[in-house]
Structure 1
């Protein structure tokens, strides 16, 4: 499995044509305590860079963008009961949705872990 990052602070784990998407630890730290998450519906088509989900914290509401285009195959229902999972495990159990990639070539513009860490350090 390979993990990529966006400059909007989403991560995506890719395993073949399947992927899992969430927000980074940096993003959840900037948002503060997460109180609500709106997830995409299963079967929805998302477009790279397009709005895919919404996360609300005590500070603000923020869109979660699709790192790549694809069809949503699962949503993390656990976030409905416990949105704070995004704070406690943003890059593990706090994932947002899974999808089937429409075009694996879209991964080419994303950052690896080292590039993302350098990007965050420069903010």
Structure 2
């Protein structure tokens, strides 16, 4: 089950690694993405650090590290074709994978019901 942040990111846990992307709500707010910049593999990120940048026809936004850890993979497909994030934000449009410093912190994030309440859905 994915978890969500107030910064409109989703996370899916597999062992001690989370896959991170932005929510469908975020893609609707941003509009069509035209550029994605991802973190470097091996980058150590603290919760709240700027991890990636997205630019759309409307605005540029940072994607923040939702938890503390080390980047172990990035999705180069969305760099080549940012529209993937708009068409499939919760699967093919993932941004990066983070090996967590503290797996327990994942439990503190919002579940889907809490996130839907947060965005007023």
The corresponding residue for 1:107 is: 106
Take 1:87 and 1:107, find their aligned partners in 2: how far apart are those partners? Answer: 25
What is the aligned partner in structure 2 of residue 15 from structure 1?
Answer: 14
TM-score by length of 1: 0.94
Q: Identify unmatched segments of 5+ residues in structure 1.
A: none
| 3-state secondary structure, aligned to 1:117 | helix
Residue matched to 1:78: 77
Equivalent position of 2:89 in the other structure: 90
- Which aligned segments of 4 or more residues in structure 1 are displaced greater than 3 angstroms? none
- Number of residue pairs matched by the alignment: 121
Pairwise CA RMSD: 1.0
Aligned partner of 2:63 in structure 1 is 64
Partner of 1:34: 33
Structure 1 residue matching 2:91: 3-state secondary structure:
coil
Structure 2: runs of 5 or more not aligned: none
After TM superposition, give the deviation of residue 108 of structure 1 in Å. 3.5
Displacement after TM superposition at 1:61 (Å): 0.3
